[in-house]
Structure 1
Amino acid sequence: MRPDLRQKAIAICDRKIAQKGESVGLSFYAFFANRNDDPDLLMEAATWWIKTHQLDHFEKAAKIREMLHAGR
């Protein structure tokens, strides 16, 4: 995952956790606006989420943040 997407995803996880608590779940769609304005970036996030790590559609934001910080 490219560094700018990784940093954006971490910031979104941090924001969601701050708003709703440690148990909040999210999908990779949370990293994007409601329109598909960057399909390559969306596919990169989807590949990381689905193919690389075989995550469920919704995962705990804290788990995703930890994975991103670890460079996985």
Structure 2
Amino acid sequence: MAEPTGARPPETVHNRIAALRAERGISRRQLAEALDVHYQTVGYLERGESSPRLHLALRIAEYLEVPVEVIFSTRPFPRTES
């Protein structure tokens, strides 16, 4: 079945939560506790299975002490070499 004319593709929010968390030595559970969310929520966000509401995105940025645009983007982030 063809998509209706003017239909938009699903919105994807790319993120660097896992990389920033790993740089700081923070576990998923620690981040979840700090944000008062379930640790599985952090996993869903990191894998791109879920996108955060604005308030949660801002709280993540505040906790990681970086601007929100360092963590989230509508475009894929460039890959970094390990």
Bigger proportion of residues as helix: 1
Q: Confirm or deny a common fold (TM above 0.5).
A: no
What range is the shorter-chain TM-score in? under 0.3
TM-score (norm 2): 0.25
**What is the TM-score normalised by the length of structure 1?**
0.27
